[in-house]
């Protein structure tokens, strides 16, 4: 409200924040948040965190802007659709205009190839804004390995839910699923996994509502005072919001952190040869993502190089379009030594497992 009286507290960009008991703008400014999924919910959450003054935002999403995004996103424009602009690129450009002091890093890739375990470990909070069970479980599993604080949000047509997992000892999204459900590869979901044929209807109203809850939880975590609830469901039609108890499932696999990794002076922009040169010959470094060793098509003879598994397309010959039957691998010694690690799906700041002859693992953290 404008009173006509100049208020000294209005001088600074974040002056009104500082009037909130317990608010620490300096903690926000020093913090990194990773946002996985930059569609409708991720758009709104990223916008909220940028305006709140988060220091650094890492945005990860493999997709481009679509027309259906425009009714529920504040950071995308029709021109982004026309030009096929990646979601993370469009969002980053808009965020830099909204909040020039915030460092925004776009990663156009799947989570496992876009944000390394080390980066998740270092983040003050990781936020899931994803729309499939497979993606949610992948994010949950990777956060569990490095004990990253996770806020996972999802919408229904008139509400949604927010889940927090701040310790591997706590119940998680995986605990609420059966073993069969945890093994399903990719089922579109909306909050409670009620959709089995495709995404449910969605609106900007529900998106903004759930994004506000997600943002509040994320900010409280950054400030060192996380909410007491771990799952809250919001029903906009009934005007109800309340916590839901979740019990730990002893069979859930997402409760096994890897511990402290060993630093390795190699980055994702270095070659396989540079990685192997720093390791004992008996150590077997592994990638998290499948890749196809180089070879030739048995049908037409066309050669193909190493490539990450990007789905069905990567299993077909690029020349004759017939199925390639050569196996995929995760053994980095199977790759061309001159290939750059990121071209094999190794994310910046990744923590790689390395198998020892006695069957144990060591964990190696790339330095960038």
More confident residue, 197 or 366: 366
Evaluated on CA atoms 262, 265, 266, 272, the torsion sign reads: negative
pLDDT at 286 over 50: yes
pTM above 0.95, yes or no: no
15, 7 contact by CB (below 8 A):
no
Instruction: Report which of 118, 170, 137 is spatially closest to residue 350, judged by C-alpha positions.
Output: 118
**pLDDT at site 79:** 96
Token pair belonging to 267: 């980055």
CA–chain centroid gap for 94, Å, is 20
Average pLDDT, the chain: 89
Least confident of 6-20, 92-106, 132-146, 286-300: 6-20
Domain borders along the chain are 11-243, 262-366
Q: Are 38 and 46 in contact (CB under 8 A)?
A: yes
The Cα–Cα gap between 112 and 80 comes to 25
Cross-strand partners of 240: 235
Residue 57 host element (H or E): strand 56-60
So what CATH class is 11-243?
alpha beta
Is the Cβ–Cβ distance between 337 and 110 less than 8 Å?
Answer: no
Give the dihedral of Cα atoms 20, 120, 183, 354; nearest 10 deg.
-160
For 13, 54, 55, the CA distances from 51, given in Å and listed in that order, are 9, 8, 10
């Amino acid at each position: 409200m404008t009173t006509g009286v100049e208020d000294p507290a209005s001088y600074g960009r974040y002056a009104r924040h500082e009037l909130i008991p317990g608010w620490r703008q300096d903690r926000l400014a020093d913090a990194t948040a990773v946002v996985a999924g930059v569609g409708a919910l991720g758009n709104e959450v990223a916008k909220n965190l940028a305006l709140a003054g988060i220091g650094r935002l890492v945005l990860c999403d493999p997709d481009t802007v679509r027309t259906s995004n425009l009714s529920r996103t504040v950071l995308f424009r029709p021109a982004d659709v026309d030009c096929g602009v990646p979601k993370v690129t469009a969002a980053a450009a808009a965020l830099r205009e909204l909040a020039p002091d915030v460092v925004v890093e776009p990663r156009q890739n799947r989570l496992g190839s876009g944000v390394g375990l080390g980066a998740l470990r270092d983040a003050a909070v990781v936020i899931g804004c994803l729309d499939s069970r497979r993606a949610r479980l992948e994010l949950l599993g990777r956060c569990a390995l490095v004990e990253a604080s996770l806020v996972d949000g999802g919408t229904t047509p008139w509400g949604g839910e927010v889940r927090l997992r701040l310790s591997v000892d706590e119940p998680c999204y995986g605990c609420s699923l059966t073993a069969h459900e945890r093994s399903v590869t990719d089922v579109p979901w909306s909050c409670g996994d009620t959709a089995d044929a495709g995404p449910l209807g969605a609106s900007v109203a529900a998106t903004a509502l759930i994004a506000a809850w997600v943002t509040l939880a994320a900010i409280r975590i950054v400030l060192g005072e996380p909410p007491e609830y771990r799952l809250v469901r919001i029903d906009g039609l009934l005007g109800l919001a309340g916590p839901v108890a979740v019990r730990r499932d002893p069979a859930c696999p997402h409760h096994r952190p890897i511990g402290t990794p060993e630093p390795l002076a190699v980055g994702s922009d270095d070659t396989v040869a540079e990685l192997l040169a720093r390791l004992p010959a008996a150590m077997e470094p592994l990638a998290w993502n499948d890749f196809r060793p180089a070879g030739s098509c048995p049908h037409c003879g066309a050669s193909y190089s190493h490539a990450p598994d990007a789905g069905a397309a990567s299993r077909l010959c690029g020349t004759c379009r017939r199925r390639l039957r050569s196996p995929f691998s995760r053994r980095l010694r199977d790759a061309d030594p001159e290939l750059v690690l990121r071209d094999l799906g190794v994310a910046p700041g990744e923590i790689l497992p390395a198998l020892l002859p006695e069957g144990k693992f060591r964990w190696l953290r790339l330095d960038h």
